[in-house]
Amino acid sequence: MTSEDKRIQSWSTREVPPDKRIDFWMSTLRTAMWPVSRWSAVAEDFGVELNEAALGALGTLRMKIGAHVSHRSRHDLDRCQDPHYLLFTSFGTEWGSGHNGHCERLRPHDLVLWADAELDSYVPYGLDGVVLRIPAPWLKTWLPDPQQLVGRRIEFDSEWGRVLSPMVCQMTPELAVSSPIPHELIADQFGAVLALLAGDVQARALPDMLKRIQECIRARCAEPALTASAVAAALAIEPADLHRALGSRKLTFAALLDDCRVTRALELLHASGFSPAALEAVAQRCGYADSARLARAIRRRTGRALNMQTSRGRPRDLKGPLDG
């Protein structure tokens, strides 16, 4: 189906025997959306009505489907040859979405963006809504990192959700065949709002993410081989997101790690007394390979060489951040 099509393609289980409907639907899914082969909790009166049309670069689908639980497995992913995203919204019922272990409870008119990944849907009351099929290359022209939205509920009553949700609800196959304005213009308006939403989500998430990153580094700074990737994995975020959050405050991972280690080292040295033996022990406890590297780090912090001559347990010429 091309962007010039002005027709609706339809699928229905009305004429399909009840015991054949799931098989019919799985076959239809491979064409209309993507393969999904695991189904359970299927309603006895399960049925599907699906209409599809092209809307510029996008595909728009109006779907009515009976109650069910489905799981898109790794096997299904291996059978998919057309990478794209799906944006869902429901008109009148609550339902649930699980995407790579991240679960959301969705209200009517909330939205959720799915990527080409393992996922679950929980539809206890059936679903009547709109689905937008979004090619991956097109989406990435608007969202360089779509993963910041994938799998997470976009609330219909949030700041940008109040703009995006009504727009998506109107982007039906019927609009596609009778639109008074070019499809590409509608698609671009949708992309622009999605980009604004993503920017707002990122801006709101950065302070909290930065705090979590800092806390994790402080807690693990004594690990000699600690890396940015290890911290990102512990926080279930992408390394690029970690560096982006630090960069928003003109910080780097290496500088923050070194700062945490020096701060801890100064606290331990003030408590134990400054001596060569204490310095060596503290270096090991704070993630440094040896005392010489710790001494250099302290000099970078304070601007002064570490003097092991002590007075009441404190060096005569070292003034660190704990000295006020």
Model confidence band, residue 284 (pLDDT cutoffs 50, 70, 90)? confident
Q: Is the pLDDT of residue 320 over 60?
A: no
| Most confident stretch, 32-41, 203-212, 262-271 | 32-41
Q: Name which of 21-25, 86-90, 142-146 the model is least confident about.
A: 142-146
DSSP 222: T
For 214-249, b/e burial (b = at least 16 CB within 10 A) is: bebbbeebbeeebebeebbeebebeeebbbbbbeee
Shared domain for 13 and 123, answered yes or no, is: yes
Contacts by 141-146, CB closer than 8 A, 24 or more apart = 141/191, 142/191, 142/192, 142/194, 142/195, 143/194, 143/195, 143/198, 145/238, 145/240, 145/241, 146/85, 146/113, 146/115, 146/198
Q: Contact, 62 vs 51, CB < 8 A?
A: yes
Shared domain for 296 and 163, answered yes or no, is: no
User: How many angstroms separate the Cα of 179 from the Cα of each of 14, 131, 132, 161, 172?
Assistant: 29, 18, 16, 23, 10
Instruction: Please state at what angle helix 161-170 crosses helix 183-220, rounded to 10 degrees.
Output: 140
Final residue in a domain of this structure, among 204, 231, 266: 204
Model confidence band, residue 5 (pLDDT cutoffs 50, 70, 90)? low
In terms of residue numbers, what domain contains 291?
A: 255-323
Final residue in a domain of this structure, among 139, 169, 204: 204
CA distance 9 to 139: 24
227: in domain: no
Backbone torsions φ then ψ of 198, nearest 5 degrees: -60, -40
User: How many angstroms separate the Cα of 266 from the Cα of each of 183, 232, 250?
Assistant: 63, 27, 24
Question: Tell me: the pLDDT tens digits for 167-199?
Answer: 999 999 999 999 989 999 999 999 999 988 888
Backbone torsions φ then ψ of 107, nearest 5 degrees: -90, 165
1: in domain: no
Shared domain for 83 and 196, answered yes or no, is: yes
Backbone torsions φ then ψ of 57, nearest 5 degrees: -75, -15
Shared domain for 285 and 195, answered yes or no, is: no
211: in domain: no
Q: Contact, 117 vs 65, CB < 8 A?
A: no
Shared domain for 156 and 79, answered yes or no, is: yes
Rg of the chain over all Cα atoms, to the nearest angstrom: 28
88: in domain: yes
Q: Contact, 36 vs 54, CB < 8 A?
A: no
Shared domain for 199 and 259, answered yes or no, is: no
Shared domain for 72 and 189, answered yes or no, is: yes
Residue 322: the pLDDT is 33
296: in domain: yes
Which one is predicted more confidently, 123 or 302? Answer: 123
Question: Tell me: the pLDDT tens digits for 226-281?
Answer: 999 999 999 888 888 788 788 878 889 988 999 998 888 888 888 776 677 778 88
Residue 79: the pLDDT is 75
Shared domain for 186 and 259, answered yes or no, is: no
Shared domain for 25 and 153, answered yes or no, is: yes
Final residue in a domain of this structure, among 204, 225, 246: 204
Shared domain for 185 and 294, answered yes or no, is: no
Question: Tell me: the pLDDT tens digits for 102-115?
Answer: 789 999 999 999 99
Residue 241: the pLDDT is 79
CATH code of 90's domain: 2.60.120.10
Shared domain for 259 and 140, answered yes or no, is: no
Shared domain for 146 and 26, answered yes or no, is: yes
pTM equals 0.66
Total structural domains in the chain? 2
23: in domain: yes
